[in-house]
Structure 1
Amino acid sequence: MTDEPGGGAFDKHRNLLFSVAYRVLGVAADAEDVVQDTWLKWSAADRSQVADPKSYLVRITTNLAMDRLRSAQTRRETYIGPWLPEPILTSTDAADDVATADTVSMGLLVVLETLTPLERAVFVLKEAFGFTYAEIAQAVERSEETVRQAAHRARGHVRARRPRFPTDRTRQRAVTERFLAAAAGGDINTLMQLLAPDVTLWTDGGGKVRQAIRPITGAQRVATWFAAVAVQPYQGIEPVNMAIEVVELNGQVGLVFGDGGRIVATVTFDLNDDGVITGIHDVANPDKLRAVTARTVHHL
């Protein structure tokens, strides 16, 4: 792509465009498609008339992402079991900035699924990237007043469903490693200590692999589910052969499960301000593990 005319400006902002599209869509493959389509539109445009390439490219990407999200939301209504975003490996740059990391966390992306495409795009551009209302209005091709109203609705919706507990990486890693050790050892008592009484586990197998069809709630039930990791084979992998890595997923410390040759699941945690686990997102649908399997690291 870089050899084409205008490639310099596009490449300069490519990372931003993916970051916008992924937050709007929650699917890395779809975000990459949107970025590719943005390139095609950019290549065909009369760039002599473009005063601000960044704004122009963000506008194309945002509108393409909203269009794609509208059709995706219809498909997701018939999805088997909980629909979770596609996890991605991220750089420590994002995690060092708590606000940036939170805007790409699995927990927030799940909440964003309940917004309209316009509300989601406005929320992403405002909260994750700090665009002004005037800039967002131009990007989404709406009036500034419409954008302000959408932002207000989106913020209220998110605030009601996701209390923000900025958790430092040291605590995240400590809790994650304790959880992993307890699960691997079948230690239900320690798991219970790490879990909030009303903890919820969402598992996404997409009907393709064995996972819970409905969210699992309550510390006892969730602890029992994960204690089974120590004794039951999963997708043909015996517990003794299950390789588990602590990595950075979506700006947070998370876990990747596999056997060295393939990835079979990722797990991320929501913690409250006491470092107790309130939510767990377990993605096992193989279609959603391609980005992690490819070891592509995104700087968001």
Structure 2
Amino acid sequence: MAEFVKSSFFAYRRELQAFLKRRLGDRQLAADLLQDVFVRVVERPRNSEEENARAYLYRVATNLAIDHERQSARRAQVFGGMEGAGATPDGHPAADRVLESRAQLERVYAALASLPPLTQEIFRLDRVESLTYRQVAARLDISESSVQKHLARALSHALRALEDPP
């Protein structure tokens, strides 16, 4: 296994990084995801029927890129409505918009702080550290479905806090 990882890394790293850079449009992000590709390969034993190392590595890289794109889309969906709204001609948000955003953020923080510690930790790992459900589950030694349930509870709680008037 170690020899496969070492030889694959040296054989395909530039090619995979170029692929990820084209897909994601960010050289640094591509480098980060390339490291994640090889971490995944090391963490998971390779199936014996996987004879084409290049195809296997591309599949892992593609899956990580898709995961990243989905997380970015989720963040944009949750926080996208806040960008650009109420901006002044110099591009800075208007003072009333800043105050409103801060108040909303404080309500969300308070709502999240009222959740059980495990739910808070799952939210932090998923939303702040951008770990996948599988990575969160492995780190906390719980099932992926449990991660999803806790995260749904946290998001629902945060959204209710935003909907409730101050």
- Pick the TM interval, shorter chain: 0.3 to 0.5
Point out the structure with the larger helix share.
2
Q: TM-score, normalised by structure 2?
A: 0.41
More strand by share: 1
User: What TM-score results when the alignment is normalised by the length of structure 1?
Assistant: 0.24
Higher RCO structure, 1 or 2 (CA under 8 Å, sep 6+)? 1
